[in-house]
Amino acid sequence: MMHESELQYHIRCRRGDLGGYCILPGDPGRVSLIAAYLDNAAEVAHNREYTTFTGTLLGEKVSICSTGIGGPSAAIAVEELAACGVHTFIRVGTCGGISTIVRPGDVIIASGAVRQDGTSREYAPIEFPAVPDFDVLFALKTAAEAERFNYHIGVVQSKDSFYGQHSPERMATSSELLAKWEAWKRLGVLCSEMEAAAIFTVGATLGVRCGAVFHCVWNQERENQGIADDVHEFNTDKAIRTAIGAIATMISG
């Protein structure tokens, strides 16, 4: 076990490099986009999928660290960032809609995550719920309302296999995958993504605060039902602004 003052093995950061708040995009390419909302932001480390910047917001140090795709690498990031003193995490990413109320371009704030992943099972029994910290959730809601975004709050699905969702029929486990997808639809799960369950469960294990906000790229269920959407929406700025606004709210107290 590495001492907290040591250089962390994967993210290549140590205490002093980071703020108490950290935004977690998956894509390293989004780190600089988020950093543009901070003052005096600069890169502090880059290794593998982990690109880390630190700047300030309202005078408070805030960091951004990319996690790559999926629960295993996200869990590593949270573990090592927490060892460096981060106490509050907000996952910012993209998702695909499940509920037909979710349109491309909408903001999704997770109130919980379906643990259809492997990483969270190594941290907690499956009966334990993957849920965000209430204060982080409320700050995200406050920020989305202040921006007047079209947003939804609810349960999201966290999976390990992107193609297990998008091409379930060709998998040997197709009957199980399709049955579970139908269950999520009936239960009103809002969208599908790949990291929230792991982040929430790791956060609970470490005693740190976590939340998650997503940008809906498209909704395959709306498409399947013949509901016309103009475009697939790839601009994640609304989700980023929601996360930045939430951190500002928490800093201001």
Which DSSP symbol is given to 120?
Answer: G
* Residue 38 neighbours by CB distance under 10 Å: 22
pLDDT computed for residue 226 by the predictor: 85
pLDDT computed for residue 230 by the predictor: 65
Per residue in 183-213, is it b (16+ CB within 10 Å) or e — as a string?
ebeeeebbbbbbbbbbbbbbbbbbebbbbbb
pLDDT at 2 over 60: no
pLDDT computed for residue 223 by the predictor: 86
pLDDT at 5 over 70: no
Of 207, 4, 216, 178, the residue nearest 102 (C-alpha): 216
Alpha-carbon distance of 25 to 27, in angstroms, equals 6
Burial of 86 (0-12, 13-18, 19+ CB in 10 A): buried
Alpha-carbon distance of 24 to 90, in angstroms, equals 6
**CATH architecture designation of domain 21-252:** 3-Layer(aba) Sandwich (3.40)
pTM as predicted = 0.96
Alpha-carbon distance of 117 to 115, in angstroms, equals 5
**Is the pLDDT higher at 241 or at 5?**
241
Alpha-carbon distance of 100 to 38, in angstroms, equals 35
Alpha-carbon distance of 69 to 235, in angstroms, equals 18
CB of 44 closer than 8 Å to CB of 110: no
For residues 93-99, average pLDDT: 96
Per-residue pLDDT of 13-68, as tens digits, reads: 999 999 999 999 999 999 999 999 999 999 999 999 999 999 999 999 999 999 99
Per-residue pLDDT of 101-117, as tens digits, reads: 999 999 999 999 999 99
Per-residue pLDDT of 173-197, as tens digits, reads: 999 999 999 999 999 999 999 999 9
Domain boundaries, the chain: 21-252
- pLDDT > 90: what percent of the chain? 91
Beta strands in the chain (DSSP E): 21-25, 39-47, 50-57, 60-65, 88-97, 107-116, 151-159, 191-193, 209-219
* Residue 251 neighbours by CB distance under 10 Å: 18
Of 236, 240, 7, 221, the residue nearest 102 (C-alpha): 221
Alpha-carbon distance of 37 to 19, in angstroms, equals 15
Per-residue pLDDT of 119-157, as tens digits, reads: 999 999 999 999 999 999 999 999 999 999 999 999 999
What letter represents residue 212's amino acid? A
Alpha-carbon distance of 205 to 2, in angstroms, equals 17
Per-residue pLDDT of 198-245, as tens digits, reads: 999 999 999 999 999 999 999 999 988 888 776 677 889 999 999 999
pLDDT computed for residue 52 by the predictor: 98
